[in-house]
A = this chain, B = another copy of it.
Amino acid sequence: MRGNIEGMTTALPLASPTCCTPARAAVDTEEAQRVARVFKALGDPTRVLLLSTVTAAAEGEACVCDLTEPVGLSQPTVSHHLKILVDAGLLSRTQRGRWSYYAPVPGALDRLADTLRELA
């Protein structure tokens, strides 16, 4: 218990009367902003499914035309979600002819997993 002991507050005028020890984060604000942006990109079930589908693609990349059926959404909506994953640094995008192809950014998910373990 961190109680206020009668008479102690006057002896310790600089301390808060009831608490405590201000805690310190293991990450700084800039790092928190960086990782939160990536987590936010993954904070949507459709994007998790799309990322999983692209990383599981046997060819090492997936055509946007193959990604609409697994998530049951229109191509513009799927392209919107894929752009968020590209902007977060999780996927790369290559245009070939009329189609866009998406591939995992090597090491991106492993680096994010490392960050989670550092937070733990």
A residues near B, CB below 8 A?
1-3, 16, 18-27, 29, 32-33, 35-37, 39-58, 62-63, 65-67, 69-70, 96-99, 104, 108-110, 112-114, 116-117, 119-120
Alpha-carbon separation in the docked complex, A20 to B67 (Å): 10
Question: Using Cβ atoms and an 8 Å threshold, which residues of chain B touch A44?
Answer: 36, 40
- Please judge, given known A-B contacts A22-B66, A22-B70, A70-B24, whether A32 and B55 are in contact too, CB under 8 Å: no
Q: Write the chain B residue with the least CB distance to A31.
A: B48
List chain B residues, Cβ under 8 A from A16.
65
Chain B residues contacting A119 (CB-CB under 8 Å) are 48, 51-52, 55, 109
- A45 & B25 in contact (Cβ 8 Å cutoff): no
User: CA A112 – CA B25 in complex, angstroms?
Assistant: 20
- Residue of B at shortest CB range from A109? B120
- Point out the residue from B25, B53, B113 that lies within 8 Å of A53, measured CB to CB: B25
Complex CA gap A24/B98 in Å reads 22
CB neighbours of A104 from chain B (8 A): 120
How far apart are A59's CB and chain B's nearest CB, in angstroms?
8
Pull 20 A–B residue pairs with CB atoms less than 8 Å apart, ordered by A.
Answer: A2-B63, A3-B97, A18-B65, A19-B65, A20-B65, A22-B66, A23-B53, A23-B54, A23-B66, A25-B49, A26-B56, A29-B49, A35-B42, A36-B44, A39-B39, A41-B43, A112-B116, A113-B113, A113-B117, A116-B116
